[in-house]
Copies of this chain bind each other. A is one copy, B any other.
Amino acid sequence: MTKRIDPAAAPQFNGTTYPSPYDEPCLARQRTRLGDAAGLTQFGVNLLRLPPGAWSAQRHWHVGEDEFIYVVSGEVVLVTDAGDEVLRPGDCAGFKAGDENGHCLQNRSSADATVLEVGTRTPGGDTAYYPECDMVARSGGYTKRDGTPYPKQERRGG
C-alpha cells in the first residue's frame, strides 16, 4: 500500500454543526481530513476549502489545543485582535492554546481559497470560546456562555 494520501479517499467534513445564526458564514466550508486518512491521532491535519464568502469558523480560541494554518492557494483574511491581515499562498500563522485572542479566516475574495490547518487532538475533546458569539464548544456539544445547551444539530451545508 502506498503511503501517499489519496485526498479522494480521505474523510470529508463539510459545513457545520454550529447553532443558528452562527452557522451561516460556515455552511460552505469544506474540510478533507488528511491526517485521519493516514491514521494519525495526536493532531488533525485538514485541507480546508473556502469558497468566496465562506469563513473557516466563528472567531474562537482553544483552551488546550495549539493550532496552525498555512495558505496553499487563494487569499484569506485572518481576523484577530491584531486586526485584519490578508494571507496569501505561503503565509502562515499559529494560535497557541489558551491565548484568548480569537481567530478565524474569511474568504472575502472572488475565488476559492485552500488552507492547510493543523490542530492538536486532546483525548476527551477540548473547550473553545467564541468571543463574538453566545456560544462555547464543549466536549458534550455547544452551549450558551451561561452553560445552557443548544439543541444538537445535524451537520449541514458544504
**A65 lies within 8 A of chain B by Cβ:** yes
**A45 lies within 8 A of chain B by Cβ:** yes
Instruction: State whether B38 touches A94 (Cβ < 8 A).
Output: yes
Report the bound CA distance from A96 to B39 in whole Å.
6
Contacts of A40 in B (CB 8 A): 66, 68, 94, 96
- Contact A68 to B3, CB < 8 A, known contacts A94-B45, A118-B43, A118-B45: no
Q: For this complex, into which size category does the number of interface residues on chain A fall?
A: 35 or more
A49 CB to nearest B CB, Å: 13
Instruction: State whether B2 touches A42 (Cβ < 8 A).
Output: no
This chain: how many copies in the complex? 2
A119 CB to nearest B CB, Å: 9
Residue on B nearest A120 in the bound complex, by CB: B42
Contacts of A78 in B (CB 8 A): 3-4
- Report A100-132 CB contacts with B as 1/0, cut-off 8 Å: 010100000000000010101000000000000
Instruction: State whether B45 touches A68 (Cβ < 8 A).
Output: yes
Contact residues of A with B, CB < 8 Å? 1-5, 34-35, 37-43, 45, 65-66, 68, 70, 72, 78, 80, 82, 85, 87, 90-97, 101, 103, 116, 118, 120
